[in-house]
């Protein structure tokens, strides 16, 4: 749908007004999280575009603290679920409990009934539990007994994976990984950030309290506005080209990638690239998407949606390297 310059100007004004809470959210989370701006930005992208996020990083990089702080800042209900090999689907979703006083079964809802779910080390739990969570993520509802209960909006799952110590884990199948909008790899903080972390935790000062700076209504209104952000057809074509280059590399003069890719990105990649790019424009207080919004988010949307062949693994070629080659070859509008 084409828009006039006046339409976009009005949209810019509405977004500038509606996005004020985003700066406040970043500021509040920044009180307790040193550095990790990439992670915080991607959490906000997921929040604004109604997409779940998979965080991968070694222990101790403030993954739990970041999501908990975000929940406090928007006054949302927060649940942390530690995934373990003995976890059952009922531990997650809830179950029917017999009440001896009334001689009736009553529903006890599980921790999945919250706005922000931290699924800690999701690959530690068996497939049944992973499937139960991923079904709730997809359907936004949970069935206990004969009754189906809708999950409250916003419903955002942030799952973590530890890339180390894979013994005894249950890696997420590709079809389930595809349900996550973003897979974000988290790196160590810089030297300066590490020094600030030491001071904050050693000097005895109390950790700053995170204030509520937004509410659920603002989040839901912002999501509606994100979908209104204008995307030109040339940007849409660019997104489709990036995704199709993972499926048919030779069409884009990337013949060297054919033996390295076992399967390309699904249509969910295209949808999520468009949504995340619109959320990126919103975070920049812009009413229209530019190519840089797309390029900025491509690795996080694509890295869990491309399969590598044994040949690629034997040559130590990572998905991120392949994405980099595609981005440097596909023509930018």
- pLDDT attached to residue 160: 86
The total domain count for the chain is 2
Q: Residues 194, 46: one domain?
A: yes
Residue 313: pLDDT over 60? yes
Distance CA(77)–CA(68), nearest Å, equals 9
Largest interatomic CA distance in the chain:
72
- pLDDT attached to residue 247: 92
Closest CA to 181 of 26, 52, 81: 52
- pLDDT attached to residue 137: 86
Q: Residues 29, 101: one domain?
A: yes
Distance CA(332)–CA(325), nearest Å, equals 13
Closest CA to 81 of 38, 43, 39, 113: 113
Residue 235: pLDDT over 90? yes
- pLDDT attached to residue 161: 82
- pLDDT attached to residue 272: 95
Residue that is last in its domain, among 192, 217, 242: 217
- pLDDT attached to residue 301: 94
Q: Residues 187, 243: one domain?
A: no
For residue 100, tell me if it sits in a domain. Answer: yes
Residue 1: pLDDT over 60? no
Mean pLDDT of 51-70: 82
Q: Residues 168, 54: one domain?
A: yes
Q: Residues 94, 136: one domain?
A: yes
The pairing of strands 141-144 and 147-150 is antiparallel
Q: Residues 96, 237: one domain?
A: no
The pairing of strands 78-82 and 53-56 is unpaired
Q: Residues 56, 189: one domain?
A: yes
Q: Residues 146, 252: one domain?
A: no
- pLDDT attached to residue 210: 80
Residue 206: pLDDT over 80? no
Q: Residues 43, 92: one domain?
A: yes
Q: Between these two residues, 32 and 117, which has the higher pLDDT value?
A: 117
Q: Residues 92, 174: one domain?
A: yes
Domain of 179?
Answer: 21-201+212-217
* Whole-prediction pTM: 0.88
Q: Residues 57, 188: one domain?
A: yes
For residue 13, tell me if it sits in a domain. Answer: no
For residue 187, tell me if it sits in a domain. Answer: yes
Domain CATH code at residue 264? 1.10.8.80
- Residue 164: band (very low, low, confident or very high) from pLDDT cuts 50, 70, 90: low
Mean pLDDT of 167-171: 69
Domain CATH code at residue 183? 3.40.50.300
Mean pLDDT of 44-52: 91
* Average pLDDT in the chain: 86
Q: What percent of the chain has pLDDT over 70?
A: 96
Do 77 and 57 form a contact (C-beta atoms < 8 A)? no
- pLDDT attached to residue 215: 84
- Residue 178: band (very low, low, confident or very high) from pLDDT cuts 50, 70, 90: confident
Mean pLDDT of 207-233: 86
- pLDDT attached to residue 204: 61
């Amino acid at each position: 749908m084409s828009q006039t310059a006046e339409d976009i100007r009005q949209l810019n004004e509405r977004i500038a007004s509606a996005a004020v809470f985003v700066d406040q959210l970043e500021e509040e989370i920044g009180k307790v999280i040193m550095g990790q701006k990439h992670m915080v930005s991607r959490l906000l992208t997921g929040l604004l575009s109604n997409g779940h996020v998979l965080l991968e990083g070694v222990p101790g990089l403030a993954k739990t603290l970041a999501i908990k702080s975000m929940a406090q800042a928007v006054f949302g209900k927060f649940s942390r679920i530690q995934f373990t090999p003995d976890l059952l689907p009922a531990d997650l979703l809830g179950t029917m409990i017999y009440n001896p006083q009334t001689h009736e079964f009553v529903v006890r809802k599980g921790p999945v009934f919250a706005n922000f779910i931290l699924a800690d080390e999701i690959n530690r739990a068996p497939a049944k539990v992973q499937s139960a969570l991923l079904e709730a993520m997809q359907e936004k509802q949970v069935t206990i007994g004969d009754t189906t209960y809708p999950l409250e909006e916003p419903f955002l799952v942030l799952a973590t994976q530890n890339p180390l110590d894979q013994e005894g884990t249950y890696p997420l199948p590709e079809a389930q990984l595809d349900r996550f909008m973003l897979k974000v790899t988290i790196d160590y903080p810089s030297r300066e950030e590490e020094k600030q972390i030491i001071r904050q935790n050693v000097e005895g000062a109390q950790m700053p309290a995170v204030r509520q700076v937004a509410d659920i209504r603002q989040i839901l209104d912002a999501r509606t506005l994100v979908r209104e952000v204008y995307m030109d057809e040339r940007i849409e074509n660019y997104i489709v080209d990036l995704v199709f280059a993972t499926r048919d590399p030779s069409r884009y003069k990337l013949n060297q990638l054919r033996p390295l890719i076992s399967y390309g990105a699904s249509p969910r990649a295209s949808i999520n690239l468009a949504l995340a790019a619109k959320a990126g424009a919103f975070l920049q207080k812009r009413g229209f998407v530019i190519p840089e919004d797309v390029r900025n988010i491509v690795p996080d949307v694509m890295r869990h949606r491309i399969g590598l062949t044994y040949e690629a693994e034997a040559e130590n070629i990572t998905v991120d390297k392949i994405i980099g080659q595609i981005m440097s070859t596909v023509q930018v509008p």
